[in-house]
């Protein structure tokens, strides 16, 4: 039996993999085992190519992990990565076959030192609460329908647009905007000065005094919102004589100004909703009809919508389809400048070789040939034009002779005459001639005017063509 099996080199029957197949197997194993990980480390190298993706390194004292943040995720990060930051990154591991390395696809990133800020915040909160600044008894009621609303926020952000849009939809009011910096070291000083400035306005002045104040900004990390935790801002809000609504961050964000304000709104848009009533209540009947229409459409589309959701579960995520290709494009983009310089140098050498054939003698000979050809064309055109002019002149002379032959002036030379009335109209019958006040007869050598009743002459009655008259003797 051993004679039938010939295996001089063990291991030759093991399966063979291509490089792509092996890379795919490794990719699936890593993504399956590390589909969700949280990594704490220090940010090293940070690269931001024109594609919008962010490439960085997470490192500690013994290892380095490559990371990538896709463009769609990077645009919505509350904390932008910077070199030297201590962070906690959340995401998954994958591989980049183009360079035979693994990397982390980061979906969220947050500072690792938030605990210290939170401890400082809690300490400050206890001190201010002990002074009674957060007591409900000192808070004022929000006006039902304020005439003027003062808004303290950044004039260039989306917050002010959301507030104005919400006020315009619900109940349009006059709005005074006090522009401030809502993030950074100057934020607390400017916000406190804005609250105090609105309270200093006099009633009935050129700039009206607001009936309600709204302090607003969008969401962010605790570091971004830290200006609204400053004691300066809290005390300015507590001293405000004008009712104040705080709308700092999103619903889950809480700052110290929220505790001292007369009303806290979860979002800037919600602050506008708390500031004014709903004018749309007058259209309640139409709203009910609209609701019925929406329900009818929803019932008709529900099955199709569910079908689309079921089919969508079997499709891959669009971002996953283009992620690796986008990374490969970034890699190729780094090589593009060198390729362009090389191609330019090749074209320059080719141009120098081609320019050798452009000698002045060749160009002069071509110019002489073209000039000779142009002279021949000019001579030929002149001959054709002269011949055509002579033919047209001969034709014109013939037409002039025909006009003179057929004109009525030639008829006058044969004894005929043309009779016109005093207005110049030609008379061809006897009745109009008898009725005319005067006649003009044109002969070959001139015209003669005749008065039909001159010297007592009487006009004879025209003779009809059908009647015969007696003719006397001519002698």
Residue reference for tokens 């009674």: 132
CA 300/CA 90 separation, integer angstroms: 41
Per residue in 24-33, pLDDT tens? 888 888 878 8
Confirm whether pTM is higher than 0.75.
no
Per residue in 51-83, pLDDT tens? 889 999 999 888 999 999 998 888 877 667 877
The CA R_g of the chain, rounded to the nearest whole Å, is: 52
Per residue in 94-114, pLDDT tens? 888 777 788 899 998 876 766
Helical packing angle, 114-130 and 231-239, nearest 10°: 30
CA 348/CA 352 separation, integer angstroms: 6
Backbone angles phi, psi at 221, to 5 degrees: -75, 175
The CA angle 92-76-48, to the nearest 5 degrees, is 75
CA 402/CA 415 separation, integer angstroms: 21
Per residue in 414-453, pLDDT tens? 777 888 888 888 888 888 888 888 888 888 788 888 876 5
CA 130/CA 119 separation, integer angstroms: 17
CA 348/CA 342 separation, integer angstroms: 10
CA 470/CA 64 separation, integer angstroms: 146
CA 291/CA 350 separation, integer angstroms: 73
């Amino acid at each position: 039996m051993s004679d039938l099996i010939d295996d001089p080199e063990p291991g030759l029957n093991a399966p063979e993999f291509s490089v792509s197949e092996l890379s795919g197997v490794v990719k699936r194993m890593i993504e399956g085992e590390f589909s969700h990980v949280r990594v704490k480390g220090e940010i090293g190298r940070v690269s931001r190519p024109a594609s919008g993706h962010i490439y960085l390194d997470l490192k500690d004292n013994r290892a380095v992990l490559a990371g990538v943040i896709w463009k769609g995720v990077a645009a919505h990060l509350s904390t932008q990565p910077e070199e030297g930051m201590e962070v906690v990154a959340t995401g998954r591991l994958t591989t980049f076959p183009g360079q035979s390395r693994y990397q982390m696809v980061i979906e969220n990133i947050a500072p690792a030192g938030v605990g210290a800020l939170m401890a400082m915040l809690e300490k400050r909160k206890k001190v201010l609460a002990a002074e009674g600044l957060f007591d409900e008894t000192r808070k004022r009621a929000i006006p039902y329908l304020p005439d003027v609303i003062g808004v303290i926020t950044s004039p260039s952000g989306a917050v002010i647009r959301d507030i104005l849009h919400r006020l315009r939809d619900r109940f349009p009011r006059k709005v005074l905007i006090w522009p401030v910096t809502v993030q950074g070291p100057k934020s607390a000083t400017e916000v406190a000065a804005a609250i105090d400035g609105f309270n200093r306005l006099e009633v009935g002045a050129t700039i009206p005094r607001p009936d309600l104040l709204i302090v607003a900004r969008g969401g962010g990390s605790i570091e971004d919102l830290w200006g609204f935790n400053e004691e300066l801002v809290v005390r300015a809000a507590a001293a405000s004589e004008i009712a104040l609504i705080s709308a700092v961050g999103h619903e889950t964000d809480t700052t110290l100004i929220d505790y001292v304000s007369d009303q806290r709104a979860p979002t800037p848009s919600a602050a506008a909703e708390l500031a004014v009533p709903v004018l749309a209540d007058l259209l309640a009947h139409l709203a009910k009809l609209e609701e019925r229409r929406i329900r009818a459409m929803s019932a008709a589309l529900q099955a199709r919508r569910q079908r689309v959701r079921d089919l969508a579960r079997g499709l891959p995520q669009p971002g996953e389809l283009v992620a690796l290709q986008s990374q490969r494009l970034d890699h190729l983009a780094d090589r593009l400048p060198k390729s362009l310089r090389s191609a330019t140098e090749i074209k320059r050498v080719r141009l120098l070789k081609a320019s050798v054939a452009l000698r002045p003698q060749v160009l002069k000979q071509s110019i002489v040939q073209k000039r000779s050809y142009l002279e021949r064309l000019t001579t030929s055109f002149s001959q054709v034009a002269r011949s055509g002019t002579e033919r047209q002149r001969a034709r014109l002379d013939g037409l002039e002779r025909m006009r003179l032959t057929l004109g009525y002036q030639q008829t006058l030379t044969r004894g005929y005459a043309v009779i016109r009335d005093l207005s110049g109209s030609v008379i061809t019958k006897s009745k109009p001639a008898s009725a005319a006040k005067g006649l003009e007869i044109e002969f070959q050598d001139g015209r003669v005017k005749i008065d039909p009743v001159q010297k007592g002459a009487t006009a004879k009655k025209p003779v009809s063509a059908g009647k015969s008259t007696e003719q006397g003797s001519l002698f």
